[in-house]
Structure 1
């Protein structure tokens, strides 16, 4: 059954999503996020999935993997340190989710060279390197063009 999300609920859901974006390294669970959205945990989970196409946990883990990729590219932290830095408490679960979303293990990602993307503006790199689930190609469903004054525009 397709659930309809009201504008009022969408505002509350975006508030919870903003908390996940900002505080991804803190311990966050559905009841705490539901409190931010002023909803029951069940209604929050259903509404979040209806509005954003993935579960709150899936969204949070995608954010954590996104941040982990940036830390791993720097190369000054071990995979275990990165795991805890982004708010994960289990190295095994972190590695499994990272591998699922990125297509290679955190160790392999950290070990390879990353200079090829250095010339890409950060706003474009964020779009193109966002972890994708289920083998979807990087940038799937999005195109990037250069707009006025050289700014990148995703569409």
Structure 2
């Protein structure tokens, strides 16, 4: 790997780490691109090349992952969880959650009720993590 490619990768990792730490805050691609010292368009291209998805999609998936955890472990209302993980619209939250997970937030919570929570880093936790959009199977209730 060339020195320039390594430097680009480091800047992209720094930007992704920023999204991971501040996922619940209002983030736009331009501000995250600034963390990587790149223009918005170049950042989107490079992020997709390195991580396999756009920065916006990554951030949405990160927010959905956190919502999944909160739905399994708390009794907080779904609307409260929506805003706690950084979504600004309940409709967008529900649509994005269903697209990533394959069920609505309320159905996910009902299905997870009483399920044993895996230990951090376990195979089950990694297996259950949504990795890309559109991979959740569509059922008859979709």
Do these two structures clear the TM 0.5 threshold for a shared fold by scoring above it?
A: yes
Cα distance, 1:136–1:108 mapped onto 2, change above 3 Å: closer
Post-superposition Cα deviations, 1:58-81, rounded to whole Å, max 9, x if no partner, equal 100110000000111123211110
Residue of structure 2 equivalent to 1:81? 80
Shift of 1:121: 2.1
Aligned positions of 1:1-155 closer than 5 A: 6-118=5-117, 120-124=118-122, 125-132=124-131, 133-135=133-135
**Which runs of 5 or more residues in structure 2 are unaligned?**
138-142
Please list every run of at least 4 consecutive aligned residues from structure 1 whose deviation after the TM superposition is greater than 4 angstroms.
none
Residue of structure 2 equivalent to 1:144? none
TM-score (structure 2 length as normaliser): 0.86
Structure 2 Cα separation of the partners of residues 98 and 12 of structure 1: 29
SS at match of 1:77: coil
Q: Which structure exhibits the higher relative contact order, with contacts defined as CA atoms closer than 8 Å and separated by 6 or more residues? A: 2
TM-score (structure 1 length as normaliser): 0.79
CA RMSD after TM alignment:
1.7
Residue of structure 1 equivalent to 2:140? none
Shift of 1:24: 0.4
Shift of 1:136: 5.7
